Amino acid sequence: MLRFGASHFVVLLVAAISVAQAVKIEVHGKDNTTCIYAVLSVNFTVLYEGNGTMENATFQLPDSLSSNGSTCGGNNSAPLLNMGFGTGHSLSLNFSHTDGKFSGDVLTFTYNTSDAKLFPGAKNKSVKHVAVNSLMEPVPLNTIYTCRSVRAIASEAVVMVFWHVGIQAFVENGTISKNESFCKADVSTTVSPVTTQTTSTVTPIPTKPPPDLPAVGNYTVKNGSDPCLLANMGLQLNITNTENQIHVININSNSTASGRCGDKHSVLLLEDTDATIQFHFFVEQSKFFLKEVQANVSLLVNGSTTTLNSSNGNLKYWQAFVGSSYICRNEQRLVVTDKLAINTFNVWLQPFEVKNGTFSRAEECSLDDDSILIPIIVGAALAGLIVIVVIAYVIGRRRSYAGYQTL
């Protein structure tokens, strides 16, 4: 999988969980043989300026791609894979090789905000470019590089999520190699085979126990060397896949954190082995809140790996005044879609105006605020007292009537 150093990104609403298909593209040389081969799935999310507000756009790499601008390379030029689509959009990657290995060098995403379909109401209509350096591991020649894991690439106002990636440059004799070089995220620990023995006793199938509570991770996003977003929390995903099977996944507390900070919009991106989660915080009327969540998760369904995507941009969780932090020690359940809910534990976060790298005064969630019990208790006591007085009055009236005889 292609993965790049990143510090800025953004995300948009995708209404429900979905399974995206990988797109295939080939570049042919003068003899019409394949020189570059790629298959991949990509989600793009872009922050752009609309009519008075910042808007989010999200879209996938479509099936219909153009290879115009691609080249197999030569003595004076490097191989280039250019995938054009829509109205002036493209994703390109150039390659180099040394010591019998090839690698991707620079990934460039070009998008055109004049495209009213993808960027409705864009104020500044122009073509923009985002280029990032590739951290793709070098791959031996005549080998295809594969990465099925979900990985996010973030830069400036763009985030790209890749999965089911397969790439081979410098293809020999137009034949795609059967040799594979796996990305680090796909490499798992080898498990010793289990030897089974036949016995006369029928052993019942054990019920899978629920996972333990997730460990609390400490996540920081920096603006240069200064922390600008702080988040401590434990996260547990509850996912219903397309087969209506339920998966409960604890997010590793050591997940990689990155993101971006702004005056009105900040983002926290967490990358686990099989999942990426994006949290988008916005400011309205001097208060911040969690407005958008997007999750990309790789799951094992019926023996095969499936990538499920789910997001919602119309949320309003974790509210507090700007300049303060938000804290909630109790368990919360954030309903993202009908297919995804996130259980959170021991949340303490501050996405804006972090000073000296520490949390500011905390505003407690209603679940933690014991002071709300005081007026409830007082009100219940007063209501009970009123009931007692009314009952006593009624009994007294009945006794007074009983003391008189009819003439």
For 115-160, the pLDDT digits (tens) are 999 999 999 999 999 998 776 788 999 999 998 888 888 777 888 8
- Residue 178, C-beta contacts closer than 8 angstroms, at least 6 positions apart: 144
Backbone angles phi, psi at 157, to 5 degrees: -95, 20
Looking at the structure, tell me whether residues 220 and 164 fall in a common domain: no
The pLDDT value recorded for residue 257 is 92
Closest CA to 1 of 190, 144, 99: 144
DSSP string covering 343-369: EEEEEEEE-S--BTTB--SEEEPTTT-
Question: What is the biggest distance separating any 2 CA atoms in the chain, rounded to whole angstroms?
Answer: 129
The pLDDT value recorded for residue 195 is 38
Q: What angle do CA 326, 331, 332 make, to 5 degrees?
A: 70
* Chosen domain end from 140, 167, 186: 186
Distances (CA, A) of 319 to 127, 201, 348, 362, 407: 36, 57, 12, 11, 73
Domain that holds residue 103: 1-186
Closest CA to 23 of 163, 151, 157, 150: 163
pTM for this model (two decimals): 0.65
Looking at the structure, tell me whether residues 273 and 236 fall in a common domain: yes
Looking at the structure, tell me whether residues 9 and 99 fall in a common domain: yes
How many CB atoms are closer than 10 A to CB 260? Answer: 24
Could you tell me the CATH number of the domain that includes residue 104? 2.40.160.110
The pLDDT value recorded for residue 232 is 96
The pLDDT value recorded for residue 127 is 95
Looking at the structure, tell me whether residues 146 and 240 fall in a common domain: no
Residue with tokens 């219940």: 380
- Asked, for residue 407, whether it belongs to a domain, the answer is no
CB 298, CB 149: distance < 8 Å: yes
- Asked, for residue 388, whether it belongs to a domain, the answer is no
Looking at the structure, tell me whether residues 70 and 34 fall in a common domain: yes
Looking at the structure, tell me whether residues 165 and 257 fall in a common domain: no
DSSP string covering 94-152: EEEEETTEEEEEEEEEEEETT-TTTSTT-SS--EEEEEEE--PPPEETT-EEEE-S-EE
Looking at the structure, tell me whether residues 177 and 325 fall in a common domain: no
- Residue 207, C-beta contacts closer than 8 angstroms, at least 6 positions apart: none
Looking at the structure, tell me whether residues 43 and 97 fall in a common domain: yes
Looking at the structure, tell me whether residues 182 and 224 fall in a common domain: no
Looking at the structure, tell me whether residues 97 and 221 fall in a common domain: no
The pLDDT value recorded for residue 106 is 92
The pLDDT value recorded for residue 368 is 59
Q: How many domains does the chain have?
A: 2
* Residue 284 to residue 401: CA distance in whole angstroms: 65
Ranges under pLDDT 50 in the chain: 1-19, 189-207, 371-374, 405-407
* Residue 33 to residue 66: CA distance in whole angstroms: 17
* Residue 169 to residue 146: CA distance in whole angstroms: 12
The pLDDT value recorded for residue 188 is 55
- Asked, for residue 138, whether it belongs to a domain, the answer is yes
The residue type found at 70 is: S
- Residue 111, C-beta contacts closer than 8 angstroms, at least 6 positions apart: 44, 46, 88, 89, 118, 119, 127, 128, 130, 158
Closest CA to 335 of 305, 362, 314: 314
Looking at the structure, tell me whether residues 150 and 7 fall in a common domain: yes
* Chosen domain end from 119, 151, 186: 186
Looking at the structure, tell me whether residues 217 and 178 fall in a common domain: no
